[in-house]
Amino acid sequence: MKKILAIIPAVLFGLASCEKEIDIDLNDSDPQIVIEGAITDQPGPYFVAISRSVIFSIPNNYPPVSGASVTITDNGGNTDVLTEVQAGLYQTNTTVGVPGKTYNLNISIDQIDYYATSTMPQKVDLDSLQFEPWLGPNSESNYVALPVFTDPATLGNNYRFLMTINGVKDKRYYVYNDIIGNGLINSRPIFSPDIDLNLDDTVEFEMRCIDVATYVYFNTLSQLSGGGMGVTPANPPNNITGGRALGIFSAYTTQTLTQRVQ
């Protein structure tokens, strides 16, 4: 809702506003460890990527972190020591992603230990994908995607949606929880501020059932991507403990439907 409202002043004063790229003198920051790990209900292997942050003004080359010791254990007693398959990218060998299971990630880099835990939620099926015409603020008739699924009766389900439109990934973060629509058939529209959905576009639509830490993480990122009108920016809270690190470790279920807009 906030996002919809946020575009209104932009529309109102679109004529009067002007945008330009500027240079800003930003402070340098020390490189931070960044951990991005995922386990899904699809067959493995799964990956954990470790890199470092860089200062803002340089190109997007993120130095990989090699030589880390990376282990994943689950609450079924399995231990998996991951293999570094390319610089900074660690691959599982035996881990199997099963809904309901809890996974512990254990990383050691330069004598500093990092821990993270994530429980894969039970899968909620994406029943169908619908498209409905949506008259945007500039009266252009576009389409909006509506994933249809039945939220389970128990409160506490969190979802993330990802769209690829005609092969172009929509980089926005769409996350929802069941505070609204708990236990009901949900078909909430997903508005993409960046990419217009037109008739005959091919949409690859992924629904993930995520745990609450992952929800909070991506929800925070989505608030920050709202432009300057949004919240005071901060690093999203994550589930990594021990040493200080950015990123998230997430066990989730996934289901993708590919459909043409009609």
The footprint of other proteins on residues 60-119 (CB under 8 A) is 60-62
181 binds other proteins (CB under 8 A): yes
Segment interacting with other proteins (CB under 8 A) among 103-111, 113-121, 182-190, 251-259: 182-190
Q: 74 or 207, CB closer to other proteins?
A: 207
Cis peptide before 45 (omega within 30 of 0): yes
Residue 107 and residue 69 in contact, taking contact as beta carbons nearer than 8 Å: yes
Q: 14 or 67, CB closer to other proteins?
A: 14
For residue 108, which phi and psi values (nearest 5 degrees)?
A: -125, 120
Can you name the residues that pair with 143 across neighbouring β-strands? 133, 197
Q: 16 or 262, CB closer to other proteins?
A: 16
153 binds other proteins (CB under 8 A): no
Residue 147 and residue 132 in contact, taking contact as beta carbons nearer than 8 Å: no
From the list 87, 112, 180, 199, which residue makes contact with other proteins (rule: CB under 8 A)? Answer: 180
Q: Which of residues 33-52 bind other proteins (CB under 8 A)?
A: 34, 36, 49, 51-52
Report helix, strand or coil for 103: strand
User: CA-CA distance, 261 to 152, in Å (whole number)?
Assistant: 28
Element (H, E) at 216: helix 212-224
- Where does residue 171 fall: left (phi above 0), alpha (psi -120 to 50 degrees), or beta otherwise? alpha
Q: Which of residues 113-152 bind other proteins (CB under 8 A)?
A: 130, 132-140, 144, 146
Q: Which of residues 9-28 bind other proteins (CB under 8 A)?
A: 9, 12-13, 16-24, 26-28
From the list 96, 188, 192, 193, which residue makes contact with other proteins (rule: CB under 8 A)? Answer: 188
262 binds other proteins (CB under 8 A): no
Q: 38 or 120, CB closer to other proteins?
A: 38
Residue 64 and residue 89 in contact, taking contact as beta carbons nearer than 8 Å: yes
Q: Which of residues 218-257 bind other proteins (CB under 8 A)?
A: 219-221, 223-224, 227-237, 246-248
Residue 257 and residue 205 in contact, taking contact as beta carbons nearer than 8 Å: yes
Q: Which of residues 193-212 bind other proteins (CB under 8 A)?
A: none
